[in-house]
């Protein structure tokens, strides 16, 4: 106790305490600043990023690498942005059920909070497309006619003019767009999943993307007023069906006539 009291009365004790206090204060300030900086840069909290990293290591690192740098089984995710994760995980395409020409939609494996946390972690690795805001997804502000024009020019060659989907090369395909949420359609346009090209703002503006979504939701709500869709392939498929069915009826009638006793 005597030795301790002597150290307290040492002339440098006050200086040491002051320096210690400054170091602790500075350290706390830097830690808080880094947290705020990370949140400002990504829009997510440090807690979300931390939890997202844990989910990533447990569920995604096998294919994409511990640091999301990519492996032979999966591409790098650095710079793909939160929107890519929200689309791929939110539609059930990731984690992949099996290797194939492209990831297929299936039941979603994570809840909304976990998807947000995974998005936060990937977004913290590098700048990339963010999850779209509600205003660009508001179809009440969209123009269906203009969206139909944009869709036919940029999307119909793969997704079909009626958005019914279509086959591509080597086992790949463009999926049907009925039943896909507004958010996921927008995210697909800005991230280019699978074989789809990226449509950034210089290609299709945010307002035009909203118009496209408005068009898709309108034709989805209309259903098929003309009867059976026949794959929504248009008059070629309908004509082929009529020709095949009609020819079959003629052949059957001919066989029936010739089989009758004279």
**What residues form the annotated binding site for heme c?**
60, 63-64, 155, 158-159
Annotated binding-site residue numbers = 60, 63-64, 155, 158-159
Question: Distance of CA 247 to CAs 229, 255, 258, Å?
Answer: 21, 12, 17
Q: Which of 46, 117, 128, 24 is nearest to 81 (CA)?
A: 128
| Residue pair 159/165 in contact by the 8 Å Cβ criterion | yes
DSSP β-bridge partners for residue 166: 174
| Residue pair 191/75 in contact by the 8 Å Cβ criterion | no
Q: Give the list of residues 6+ apart from residue 241 with CB closer than 8 angstroms, or none.
A: 230
Q: What is the DSSP string of 99-117?
A: -SSS-------S-HHHHHH
Q: Which helix (H) or strand (E) holds 191?
A: helix 182-191
């Amino acid at each position: 106790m005597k030795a301790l009291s002597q150290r307290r009365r040492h002339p440098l004790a006050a200086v040491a305490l002051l320096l210690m206090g400054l170091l602790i204060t500075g350290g706390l300030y830097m830690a808080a600043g880094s947290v705020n900086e990370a949140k400002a840069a990504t829009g997510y909290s440090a807690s979300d990023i931390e939890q997202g990293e844990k989910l990533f290591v447990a569920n995604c690192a096998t294919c994409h690498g511990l640091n999301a740098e990519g492996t032979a089984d999966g591409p790098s995710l650095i710079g793909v942005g939160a929107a890519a994760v929200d689309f791929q995980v939110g539609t059930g395409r990731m984690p992949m059920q099996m290797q194939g020409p492209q990831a297929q939609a299936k039941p979603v494996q994570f809840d909304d909070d976990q998807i947000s946390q995974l998005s936060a972690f990937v977004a913290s690795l590098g700048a990339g497309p963010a999850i779209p805001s509600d205003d660009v997804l508001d179809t009440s502000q969209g123009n269906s006619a203009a969206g139909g024009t944009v869709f036919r020019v940029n999307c119909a060659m793969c997704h079909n003019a009626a958005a019914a989907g279509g086959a591509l090369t080597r086992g790949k395909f463009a999926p049907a767009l009925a039943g896909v949420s507004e958010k996921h359609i927008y995210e697909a346009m800005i991230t280019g999943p699978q074989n789809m090209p990226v449509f950034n703002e210089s290609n299709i503006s945010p307002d035009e993307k909203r118009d496209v979504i408005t068009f898709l939701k309108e034709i989805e709500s209309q259903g098929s007023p003309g009867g059976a869709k026949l794959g929504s392939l248009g008059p070629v498929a309908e004509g082929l069906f009529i020709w095949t069915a009609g020819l079959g009826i003629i052949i059957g009638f001919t066989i029936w006539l010739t089989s009758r006793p004279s």
